[in-house]
């Protein structure tokens, strides 16, 4: 039977191959200066918003190398397993991979560079995340003017940003050093983007990284040069008392290279623009990096990036006067803003969970969210008589939190003691995940975060548990989200409240037993935190299935009779679908192509039935869940549609890399 279930999605995928869209890795990164943070050190984040990515994280140990050793550079890969071999931690060893579906072989190198004698330990996911010296990196892919191909794929470039980020964490002790190293390597060896075939080569050609250490916060931009053999890059320091972010579009504007403490750039940053007639200095116009090298989005999608930045800035400072309707490059937006008050890690988690709630763009309101306020807007792809041309004319809002996230994090640094650095880390969508502390000085990351793949559901995988929560909660979102938030707050508050005692105990362990005792303790504590969060989310899913199903909310679990209350569709939605048209009205299948009005829905009703917080956990442990096995199959069938796509590259009319002028 299991074989039949696994074969069904395969047959479905083959039948729908023509409409499978390439998976996008389009993320949001937030960066906070030291004085804008309640921690006293910079923070960075990353929501890895990728539908097909390997969602695991791994601890890469420090390594010693002999003189003359070479560092192998591999081709960019995001799908499971992103790497196979012995150079990046035990999670990538062949014997530790799931071979039920494929016999994975070692990842080949496409080139190499001289190795250094000693590399630092770090935690990585799709990109490098943080190293033992507290250099932390977030990422956001950006459209760019030029695109290139990697070595072995018909091009001349050696590095993508993932490999650059990993090498930076292996070798750098400061953010500035990491930025300069990545830029120099890309200029010398060549840089290519996340995609080098298909219709999205320009959309995925550039990259932005948010890079922090215990004192400084930097935003780094990079793209291929016009030869395909080198790179153009720039970096700007975020003021200590301000917050900035990148939402899939460059944000660095004018460069004052006479102030290297605030700006860095490649030697060719002006020359490439001049020789391609992008910038003409004799006209007296200041050089603008974003204007020169960003590839603007189509008019219908122009707010895909800019509105997230508007939301980030206005969340940080609600009094800020900033229009949500800027131009396609946000030309009137500042590079960074000062928050109304210093921001805590919990504030940043809240920002990452945002769907524009309470604004005119609230994705939990209106017909697009359905009768129950579902904020998910699935990735557009041609199907039936829906063409790509149709899609290009349409638009959904893009929030910071999105259903297709692999993971997200907030980095927490300590200016005085690197032993105390950790990540608030969560897999799956930020609004559905529960963040848990993962200390940087662990020997291994928690098993819940380092196992699993999109090939098979795994109840011991944190990603899959939160995918269950997110997908089920979305069905009755206006009713379920309060329960999700309740569990998130309880778990995260508990962890937040115990961290200081863990840090004190860790220092005592180090005094008594040295570094090995410290590492062992922090590894076990990280595992405990992760297990507690995992258990809470698993219990939450079981509760949601029990309490919300088939259009009912079930409660009163400890009485001799359950309370079963209908959560029928709201009146505004019934009006939208013609419920009140009477028997002579059209049937359910009629007028399916008609356009719904843009009526703004009122706030969805909240249920009059409430459930004490304790019952969320208690109910599932008293045998009240009778649907679980059936539910998992139902959920998996829904998730199959979300995760079917492997990266499919459509035909490219002109596969020669090069310049496309700004229209």
On whether residue 624 sits in a domain, the answer given is: no
Q: 218 and 235 in contact (C-beta within 8 Å)?
A: yes
Closest Cα partner for 222 from 149, 142, 166? 142
Chain position carrying tokens 């690197």 = 418
Q: Which residues pair with 424 in a beta bridge?
A: 410, 437
pLDDT at 17: 36
Which segments of the chain have a pLDDT < 70? 1-25, 583-663
**Residue 587 has what pLDDT?**
53
pLDDT of residue 401: 98
Residues 6 or more apart from 485 whose CB is under 8 A from it? Answer: none
Digit-coded pLDDT (tens) for 190-236: 999 999 999 899 999 999 999 999 999 999 999 999 999 999 999 99
| 404 within a domain of the structure (yes/no) | yes
| Beta carbons within 10 angstroms of residue 5's beta carbon | 12
Please report whether residue 657 resides in a domain.
Answer: no
User: Is 500 a member of any domain?
Assistant: no
Look at residue 483 and tell me if it is in a domain. Answer: no
According to DSSP, the residues that pair with 45 across neighbouring strands are 410
DSSP 115-133: PPSEE--EEESSSEEEETT
Beta strand pairing call for 552-555 and 548-549: antiparallel
Is 523 in contact with 438 (CB distance < 8 Å)? no
Helix axes 462-475, 477-547, angle to 10 degrees: 110
Q: How far apart are CA 606 and CA 460, in angstroms?
A: 33
Paired residues of 223 in beta bridges: 232
Token pair 């071999």: residue: 85
Range of the domain at 247: 21-361+397-416
The pLDDT value recorded for residue 299 is 76
pLDDT at position 250 is 98
Quote the CA–CA distance of 374 and 548 in Å, as a whole number: 15
By the 8 A CB rule, do 300 and 396 touch?
no
| Residue 14 CB partners (closer than 8 Å, separation 6+) | none
Report the chain's terminal Cα–Cα distance, integer Å.
55
Q: CA 430, 433, 437, 442 torsion: positive or negative?
A: negative
Encode pLDDT of 384-419 as tens digits.
999 999 999 999 999 999 999 999 999 999 999 999
What is the token pair recorded at 367?
Answer: 């017909």
Task: Assess if residue 496 is contained within a domain.
Answer: no
Distance of CA 131 to the CA centre of its chain: 19
| Domain-located, residue 304 | yes
SS3 307: helix
State residue 595's pLDDT score: 42
DSSP label at 286?
A: P
Give 3-state DSSP helix, strand, coil % of the chain, rounded to 5.
Answer: 35, 20, 50
CB–CB of 276/659 below 8 Å? Answer: yes
Q: Are 110 and 158 spatial neighbours (Cβ–Cβ below 8 Å)?
A: yes
220 part of a folded domain: yes
The torsion angles phi and psi of 170, rounded to 5 degrees, stand at: -70, -30
53-76 b/e with 16+ CB inside 10 Å = b? Answer: bbbbbbbbeebeeeeeeebebbbb
Give the bridge partners for 208, in sequence order: 140, 221
Take residue 214 and report the two structure tokens written for it.
């215990």
Per-residue confidence (pLDDT) for residue 26, from 0 to 100: 83
Residue 607's Cβ-side half-sphere holds a number of Cα atoms within 13 Å equal to 25
The rounded distance, in Å, linking the Cα atoms of 142 and 295 is 8
Q: How many structural domains does the chain have?
A: 1
Residue 296's CB: how many other CB atoms inside 10 A? 17
Per the document, the length of the chain is 663
pLDDT at 618: 52
Q: Residue 345 and residue 340: Cα distance in Å, rounded?
A: 15
Rounded-to-integer distance, Cα 181 and Cα 120, Å: 15
What does pTM read for this prediction?
Answer: 0.88
């Amino acid at each position: 039977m299991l074989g039949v279930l696994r074969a069904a999605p395969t047959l479905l995928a083959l039948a729908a191959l023509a409409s499978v869209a390439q998976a996008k890795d389009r993320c949001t990164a937030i960066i906070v200066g030291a004085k804008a943070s309640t921690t006293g050190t910079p923070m960075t984040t990353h929501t890895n918003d990728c539908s097909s990515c390997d969602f695991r994280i791994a601890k890469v140990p420090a390594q010693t190398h002999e003189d003359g050793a070479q560092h192998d550079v591999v081709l960019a890969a995001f799908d499971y397993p992103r790497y196979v071999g012995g150079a990046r931690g035990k999670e990538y060893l062949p014997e530790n991979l799931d071979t039920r579906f494929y016999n994975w072989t070692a990842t080949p190198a496409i080139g190499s560079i001289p190795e250094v004698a000693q590399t630092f330990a770090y935690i990585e996911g799709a990109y490098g995340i943080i190293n033992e010296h507290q250099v932390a990196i977030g990422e956001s892919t950006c459209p760019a003017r030029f695109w290139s191909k990697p070595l072995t794929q018909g091009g001349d470039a050696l590095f993508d940003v993932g490999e650059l980020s990993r090498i930076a964490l292996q070798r750098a002790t400061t953010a500035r050093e990491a930025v300069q190293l990545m830029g120099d390597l890309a200029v010398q060896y060549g840089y290519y983007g996340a995609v080098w075939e298909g219709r999205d080569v320009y959309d995925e050609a550039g990259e932005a990284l948010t890079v922090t250490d215990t004192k400084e916060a930097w935003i780094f931009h990079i793209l291929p040069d016009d030869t395909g053999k080198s790179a153009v890059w720039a970096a700007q320091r975020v003021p200590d008392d301000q917050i900035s972010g990148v939402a899939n579009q460059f944000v660095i504007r004018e460069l004052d290279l006479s102030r290297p403490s605030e700006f860095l750039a490649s030697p060719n940053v002006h020359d490439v623009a001049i020789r391609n007639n992008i910038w003409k200095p004799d006209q007296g116009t200041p050089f603008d990096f974003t204007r020169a090298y960003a590839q603007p989005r189509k008019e219908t999608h122009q707010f895909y990036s800019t509105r997230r930045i508007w939301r980030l800035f206005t969340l940080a400072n609600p009094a800020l006067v900033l229009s949500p309707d800027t131009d396609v490059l946000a030309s009137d937006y500042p590079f960074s803003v000062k928050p109304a008050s210093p921001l805590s890690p919990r504030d940043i988690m809240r920002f990452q969970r945002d769907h524009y709630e309470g604004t005119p763009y609230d994705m939990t309101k209106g017909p697009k969210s359905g009768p129950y306020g579902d904020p998910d807007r699935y990735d557009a792809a041609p199907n039936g008589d829906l063409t790509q041309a149709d899609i290009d004319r349409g638009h959904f809002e893009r929030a910071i939190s999105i259903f297709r996230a692999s993971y997200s994090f907030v980095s927490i640094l300590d200016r005085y003691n690197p032993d105390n650095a950790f990540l608030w880390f969560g897999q799956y969508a930020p609004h559905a995940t529960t963040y848990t502390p993962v200390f940087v000085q662990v020997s291994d990351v928690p098993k819940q975060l380092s196992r699993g793949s999109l090939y098979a559901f795994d109840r011991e995988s944190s990603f899959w548990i939160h995918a269950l929560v997110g997908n089920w909660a979305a069905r009755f979102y206006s009713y379920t989200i309060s329960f999700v938030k309740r569990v998130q707050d309880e778990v995260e508050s508990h962890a937040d409240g115990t961290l200081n005692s863990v840090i004190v105990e860790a220092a005592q362990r180090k005094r008594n037993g040295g570094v090995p005792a410290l590492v062992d303790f922090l590894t076990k504590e990280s595992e405990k935190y992760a297990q507690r969060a995992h258990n809470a989310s698993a219990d939450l899913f079981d509760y949601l299935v029990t309490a919300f199903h088939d259009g009912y909310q079930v409660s009163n679990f400890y009485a001799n009779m359950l309370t079963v209350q209908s959560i029928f569709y709201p009146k505004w939605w019934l009006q939208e679908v013609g419920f009140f048209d009477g028997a002579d009205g059209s049937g359910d299948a009629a007028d399916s192509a008609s356009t719904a009005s843009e009526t703004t829905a009122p706030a969805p009703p909240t249920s009059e039935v409430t459930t004490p917080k304790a019952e969320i956990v208690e109910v599932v442990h008293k045998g009240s869940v009778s649907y679980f096995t059936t539910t998992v199959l139902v959920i998996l069938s829904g998730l199959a549609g979300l995760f079917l796509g492997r990266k499919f590259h459509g035909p490219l009319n002109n596969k020669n890399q090069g310049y496309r002028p700004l229209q």
